[in-house]
């Protein structure tokens, strides 16, 4: 069988490589010629892909990439792994999914299996994707097959990768479900869990991420209360974590970034409104998380004031711009929101991040600097906004900085101590 994977990002490329490794002939589709060329040269650009694996499957001719959607005609299976962002009104933007489905519809043929993996609100597969495909006159569940199977890639996770993470599958009918289940069982070393329709599969993914955003908001609120009461929230979390059942630790920070957690729950909010329900808890969680960058700057102001310094003109070393530890992605990064607010108060900020050389900031490209002793001594305060475990010289930071505000307690987690270190 020939498998098509549309969207060669952090979800699609690992999936394409795994399918090629399993012995399928895979055609990767992407609109970015740069990505297509890199794949065809066997050059990896996704952290979670083993570079050797990509090289091998490309050299063996098991994986080729293209921007030409006509090659979809050769595919027996097509997996859609394109982004589902929010637009500037925080409304779901399904344009990538719709455009991709329309491209597939032009090449749809009998016996084709289409699987949507992009995170979206319940109902998308049956109410948006299916009608576009059936406009061709071909009938779902008779002429072609359609299922939803949420991606669960956790960028930077060294233990769970595409191959060993369990998968959920929901087809629009028995045959679609069976075919999709067989597809994933043939490439994964993990159980494939079948649900009764695409809706349950779509909703299960939203639940996974909404569970996170709500619990992160809870611990952020707890951190604010604890600070006012002079309680060490990090100790509190460790203490609560000794409960062997019914508790799962989350950690406070400067906010919630990435392309999933701050976005996916608002797909549900949007859809729930259509059914007349207002998802108050989810929206409140979003508000609390969105208030954290301002809270971080408030704490910086307090720490400087205690030393008779004001934020205006303060020399701030911002340690970490990625949205989470040990990744290079800065999408929705709370660190960038902290940077923006600090500069709004006219602080003089130098961002450093070993994983990020340059980043998009206010429609410009901004560069990070290398962390040096001089920078540590220059700074009135170093603000740690990303919990990078690796590639940061924290020993130098603790020794050379006069004041450190560690919003992620990464120094504590790595065993560094110092009376110049302050926590959220």
Query: Partners of 64 in the beta sheet?
Result: 27
Under the binding rule (CB under 6 A), the answer on residue 260 touching ligand SAJ is: yes
Nearer of residues 258 and 351 to ligand SAJ, judged by Cβ: 258
- Cα 293 from Cα 424, distance rounded (Å): 11
Residue 105 or 261 having the CB closest to ligand SAJ: 261
Question: Which residues lie closer than 8 Å to 94 by C-beta, 6 or more apart?
Answer: 84, 120, 124, 128
- The answer to whether 12 contacts ligand SAJ (rule: CB under 6 A) is no
| Shortest Å distance, C-beta 250 to ligand SAJ | 4
Active site residue 260: yes
Can you tell me which of 122, 258, 286, 293 binds ligand SAJ, judged by CB under 6 A? 258
Q: Report 183-212 residues binding ligand SAJ (CB under 6 A).
A: 208-209, 212
CB of 289: closest distance to ligand SAJ in angstroms? Answer: 8
Between 105 and 338, CB nearer to ligand SAJ: 338
**Interaction of residue 49 with ligand SAJ, rule CB under 6 A:** no
155 binds ligand SAJ (CB under 6 A): yes
Considering the rule CB under 6 A, would residue 92 count as an interface residue with ligand SAJ? no
Name the CA dihedral angle for 222, 225, 231, 237, rounded to a multiple of 10 degrees: 0
Q: How far apart are CA 349 and CA 327, in angstroms?
A: 22
When asked if residue 250 is in the footprint of ligand SAJ (CB under 6 A), the reply is yes
| Contacts (Cβ under 8 Å, ≥6 apart) of 363 | none
Q: Please, which residue, 21 or 324, has the CB nearer to ligand SAJ?
A: 324
Tokens representing residue 57 in the block: 């499957």
- Does 295 bind ligand SAJ (CB under 6 A)? Our answer is no
Q: What is the DSSP letter of 387?
A: -
- Catalytic residue of the set 140, 260, 376, 401: 260
Of residues 103 through 142, those in contact with ligand SAJ by CB under 6 A are 119
Interaction of residue 337 with ligand SAJ, rule CB under 6 A = no
Of the pair 166, 418, the CB lying nearest ligand SAJ is at: 166
Using CA atoms, how far residue 296 sits from 122, 213, 292, 303, in Å, is 35, 18, 6, 11
Identify the residue among 257, 265, 286, 351 touching ligand SAJ (CB under 6 A).
257
In the list 324, 331, 337, 400, the residue contacting ligand SAJ (rule: CB under 6 A) is 324
216 binds ligand SAJ (CB under 6 A): yes
Q: What is the four-CA torsion angle of 424, 384, 211, 228, rounded to 10 degrees? A: 10
Q: Judged by CB, which is closer to ligand SAJ: 176, or 368?
A: 368
Dihedral class, residue 53 (left if φ above 0, else alpha if ψ from -120 to 50, else beta): alpha
Distances (CA, A) of 381 to 174, 293, 298, 337, 348: 60, 16, 13, 17, 11
DSSP 11-71: THHHHHHHHHHTT-EEEEE-S-HHHHHHHHTT----TTS-HHHHHHHHHTTSEEEES-GGG
Q: Catalytic amino acids? A: 260
Q: Interface residues with ligand SAJ (CB under 6 A)?
A: 119, 151-155, 208-209, 212, 216, 250-251, 253, 256-258, 260-261, 323-324
């Amino acid at each position: 069988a020939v498998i098509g994977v549309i969207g060669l990002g952090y979800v699609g490329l690992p999936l394409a490589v795994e399918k090629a490794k399993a012995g399928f002939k895979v055609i990767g589709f992407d609109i970015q010629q740069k990505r297509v060329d890199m794949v065809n040269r066997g050059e990896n650009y996704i952290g979670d892909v083993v570079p050797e694996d990509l090289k091998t499957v490309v050299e063996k001719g098991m994986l080729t990439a293209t921007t030409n959607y006509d090659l979809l005609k050769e595919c027996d299976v097509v997996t859609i792994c394109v982004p589902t962002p929010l637009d500037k009104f925080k409304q779901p933007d399904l344009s990538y999914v719709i455009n991709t489905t329309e491209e597939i519809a032009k090449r749809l043929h009998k016996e084709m299996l289409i699987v949507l993996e992009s995170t979206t609100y319940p109902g998308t597969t049956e109410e948006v994707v299916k009608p576009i495909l059936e406009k061709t006159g071909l009938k779902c569940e008779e002429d072609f097959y359609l299922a939803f199977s949420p991606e669960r890639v956790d960028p930077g996770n060294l233990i769970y990768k595409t191959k060993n993470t369990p998968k959920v599958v929901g087809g629009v009918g028995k045959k679609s479900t069976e075919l999709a289940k067989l597809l994933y069982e043939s490439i994964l070393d993990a159980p494939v869990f079948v649900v009764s329709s695409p809706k349950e599969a779509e909703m299960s993914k939203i639940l996974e991420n909404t569970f996170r955003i709500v619990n992160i908001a809870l611990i952020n609120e707890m951190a604010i209360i604890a600070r006012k009461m002079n309680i060490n929230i990090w100790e509190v979390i460790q203490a609560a974590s000794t409960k062997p059942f019914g508790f799962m630790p989350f950690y406070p920070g400067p906010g919630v970034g990435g392309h999933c957690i701050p976005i996916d729950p608002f797909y549900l909010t949007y859809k729930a409104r259509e059914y007349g329900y207002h998802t108050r808890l989810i929206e409140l969680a979003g508000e609390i998380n969105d208030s954290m960058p301002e809270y971080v700057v408030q704490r910086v102001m307090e720490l400087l004031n205690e030393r008779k310094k004001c934020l205006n003109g303060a020399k701030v070393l911002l340690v970490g711009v990625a949205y989470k530890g040990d990744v290079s992605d800065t999408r929705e990064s709370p660190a960038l929101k902290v940077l923006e607010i600090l500069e709004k108060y006219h602080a003089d900020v130098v961002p450093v991040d070993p994983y990020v050389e340059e980043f998009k900031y206010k429609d410009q490209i901004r560069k990070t600097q290398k962390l040096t002793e001089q920078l540590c001594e220059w700074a009135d305060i170093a603000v740690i906004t990303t919990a990078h475990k690796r590639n940061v010289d924290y020993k130098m930071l603790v020794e050379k900085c006069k004041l450190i505000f560690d919003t992620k307690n990464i120094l504590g987690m790595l065993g560094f101590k110092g009376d110049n270190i302050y926590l959220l």
